[in-house]
Chain A
Amino acid sequence: MPGILVALIGIIVLALGYRYYSKFVAEKIYRLDPDYVTPAHRYKDGVDFVPTNKFVLWGHHFTSVAGAAPIMGPAVALYWGWLPAFIWVILGTVFAAGVHDFGTLVVSVRNKGQSIGTLANRLIGQRAKILFLFIILILLLMVNAVFTWVIANLFIQYPSSVLPVFIQIPIAIWIGYAVYKGNRKMLGPSIIGLVVMYATAIITSRVDFLQIDLVGYFGGEGSTGLFGLGAVSSAFLIWIIILMGYVYFASTLPVWKLLQPRDFINSHQLVVGLAILYLGLLFLNPEMTAPVTNSNPDTSWFPLLFITIACGAISGFHGLVSSGTSSKQLNKETDARFVGYFGAVGEGILALISIIAAGTFFANSDAFFATYGSFTEANGAGLDVFVVGAANLASGIAIPPDIATTIVSIIVVSFAATSLDTSVRLLRYIIGELGIEYKVPALSKKHVATSVAVVSSAALVLLPQGPNGFGSGGYLIWPLFGTSNQLLAGISLLLISIWLKRQGRNYAITLIPMIFLMFMTLYAMFQQVFFEWAWYGTESDMLLFVLGAIIFVFAVWIVLTAFNVLTKKYDNPIDND
Chain B
Amino acid sequence: MLEHVKKLIQFYDEVLSMPHRQEIARELRDEDDLFLLLLYSEMIGIPNPIYYYTLELYPYMIENFHDWHLRMGMDKSPLTGIRCC
List the A side residues contacting B27 at CB < 8 Å. 256
Is B19 interfacial (CB-CB < 8 Å)? yes
When the two chains form their complex, are residues A187 and B13 in contact, meaning their CB atoms are under 8 A apart?
A: yes
Which residue in B12, B14, B23 is a CB contact (below 8 Å) of A256? B23
Closest Cβ–Cβ distance, residue A180 to chain B (whole Å) = 7
Interface readout for A250-279 with B: 1 if CB under 8 Å, 0 if not? 000001100010011001100000000000
- Chain A residue with Cβ nearest B13: A187
Docked Cα-Cα span, A187 to B14, in Å, equals: 9
Docked Cα-Cα span, A45 to B67, in Å, equals: 8
**Which of A54-62, A76-84, A357-365 forms contacts with chain B?**
A54-62
Docked Cα-Cα span, A56 to B17, in Å, equals: 10
Which residue in B11, B16, B25, B67 is a CB contact (below 8 Å) of A264? B16
B interface secondary structure, majority: helix
- Chain B residue with Cβ nearest A268: B16
Is B76 interfacial (CB-CB < 8 Å)? no
Closest Cβ–Cβ distance, residue B18 to chain A (whole Å) = 5
- Chain B residue with Cβ nearest A57: B18
Central interface residue in B9, B15, B18, B29, by most chain A CB within 10 Å: B15
Docked Cα-Cα span, A57 to B15, in Å, equals: 7
List the A side residues contacting B16 at CB < 8 Å. 59, 63, 186-187, 190, 264, 267-268
Closest Cβ–Cβ distance, residue B13 to chain A (whole Å) = 5
List the A side residues contacting B17 at CB < 8 Å. 185-187
Which residue in A46, A186, A268 is a CB contact (below 8 Å) of B20? A186
- Chain B residue with Cβ nearest A260: B20
Interface residues of A in 176-221 (CB under 8 A from B): 180, 185-187, 190
Count class of interface residues, chain A: 20 to 34
Closest Cβ–Cβ distance, residue A426 to chain B (whole Å) = 14
When the two chains form their complex, are residues A52 and B18 in contact, meaning their CB atoms are under 8 A apart?
A: yes
Docked Cα-Cα span, A46 to B14, in Å, equals: 15
List the B side residues contacting A59 at CB < 8 Å. 11-12, 15-16
- Chain B residue with Cβ nearest A267: B16
When the two chains form their complex, are residues B15 and A46 in contact, meaning their CB atoms are under 8 A apart?
A: no
Closest Cβ–Cβ distance, residue A209 to chain B (whole Å) = 35
- Chain A residue with Cβ nearest B21: A50
Is A433 interfacial (CB-CB < 8 Å)? no
- Chain B residue with Cβ nearest A52: B18
When the two chains form their complex, are residues B11 and A55 in contact, meaning their CB atoms are under 8 A apart?
A: yes
List the A side residues contacting B22 at CB < 8 Å. 47-48, 50
List the B side residues contacting A185 at CB < 8 Å. 13, 17
Interface residues of A in 41-73 (CB under 8 A from B): 45-48, 50, 52-53, 55-57, 59-60, 63-64
- Chain A residue with Cβ nearest B15: A59
- Chain B residue with Cβ nearest A259: B23
Query: 30 A–B contact pairs at CB < 8 A?
Result: A45-B29, A45-B67, A45-B71, A47-B25, A48-B26, A55-B11, A56-B11, A56-B18, A57-B18, A59-B12, A60-B18, A63-B16, A185-B13, A185-B17, A186-B17, A186-B20, A187-B9, A187-B12, A187-B13, A187-B16, A190-B16, A255-B23, A256-B23, A256-B27, A260-B20, A260-B23, A263-B19, A263-B20, A264-B16, A325-B19
With A56-B18, A256-B24 already in contact, 11 other A-B pairs whose C-beta atoms are closer than 8 Å: A45-B67, A45-B71, A46-B29, A47-B22, A47-B25, A48-B26, A55-B11, A57-B18, A59-B12, A60-B15, A260-B23
Residues of A with Cβ closer than 8 Å to B? 45-48, 50, 52-53, 55-57, 59-60, 63-64, 180, 185-187, 190, 255-256, 260, 263-264, 267-268, 325
